[in-house]
Amino acid sequence: MRIVVLVSGSGSNLQAVIDAVAAGTLPVTIAAVGADRPGTGGVRRAAEAGIATFEVDFRKYDERADWNRALTEAVAAHTPDYVVSSGFMRIVDQHFLDRFPNRYLNTHPALLPSFPGAHGVRDALAYGVKVTGCTVMIADAGVDTGPILAQAPVAVLPGDTEETLHERIKVEERRLLIETLTDLAAARSTVGA
Ligand code: GRF
């Protein structure tokens, strides 16, 4: 099963996928890693692992639709079975989603539908929840909406900051993403999809 992973940040969740593939525990080919901006840790980690990379810099496009089209072509060039948003901080449009119908996975560091958006960890902490967590879903054109595939709870501890809580969530997020990809790969091999 071929995946393209999209990142915007440090790529520590991507690194967990790279490591699982290298360890032979995740039967997936990372065909490429792409970013919406230059200089991401995720693209650097991929390059260090010998994985093809691309950057579709959001700032180089006057129109969002043009950026979406360029991103769609850059991803499609690697013929993925699934596209995985792992810390990718852009919302893609219907043109992108139509190219990869029900094939765009997203992870979010909160228990959706609670605390969607770019600050899910901060918002959960500010709200004062005792349990938050992470979600893997099939993304649609909304912000962190779409059918939920998996979730995991993470307790909020006294004294937690956004950073300490987010790092603890990411541990579960990486596990959940790898489990979800493993299940999807297994489903494909059994039904020969
Ligand atoms: C993840 O928690 C992701 O859900 C959120 O940003 C984090 C990405 O971290 N959008 P990294 O870039 O994988 O380290």
Rounded Cα distance between 97 and 75, Å, is 12
The pLDDT of residue 44 is 98
> Is the model's pLDDT at 193 over the cut of 70?
no
Give the other-Cβ count within 10 Å of 79's Cβ: 10
> Is the model's pLDDT at 167 over the cut of 70?
yes
Rounded Cα distance between 78 and 181, Å, is 18
9 lines ligand 1 (CB under 6 A): yes
Question: What are the catalytic residues?
Answer: 108
Secondary structure (DSSP) of 9-30: S--HHHHHHHHHHHTT-S--EE
Rounded Cα distance between 140 and 124, Å, is 23
The pLDDT of residue 189 is 73
Its pTM stands at: 0.94
The pLDDT of residue 136 is 97
12 lines ligand 1 (CB under 6 A): yes
- How remote is the CA of residue 133 from the centroid of ligand 1, in Å? 13
Q: Residues 171, 138: contact at Cβ < 8 Å?
A: no
13 lines ligand 1 (CB under 6 A): yes
- Measured from the Cα of 10, ligand 1's closest atom is 12
- How remote is the CA of residue 59 from the centroid of ligand 1, in Å? 21
- How remote is the CA of residue 94 from the centroid of ligand 1, in Å? 23
87 lines ligand 1 (CB under 6 A): yes
Convert the pLDDT of each residue in 85-115 to its tens digit: 999 999 999 999 999 999 999 999 999 999 9
Mutate-to-test residue for ligand 1 from 86, 151, 177, highest number of ligand atoms within 8 A of CB = 86
Convert the pLDDT of each residue in 17-50 to its tens digit: 999 999 999 999 999 999 999 999 999 999 999 9
> Is the model's pLDDT at 175 over the cut of 80?
yes
Q: Residues 64, 94: contact at Cβ < 8 Å?
A: no
Q: Measuring CA to CA, which residue among 93, 107, 103 is closest to residue 14?
A: 107
> Is the model's pLDDT at 191 over the cut of 60?
no
34 lines ligand 1 (CB under 6 A): no
The pLDDT of residue 188 is 81
Q: How far is CA 105 from CA 139, 140, 147, in A?
A: 6, 9, 10
Q: Measuring CA to CA, which residue among 55, 39, 47, 56 is closest to residue 18?
A: 47
pLDDT category of residue 11 using cuts at 50, 70 and 90: very high
Report which secondary-structure segment, H or E, holds 76.
helix 64-76
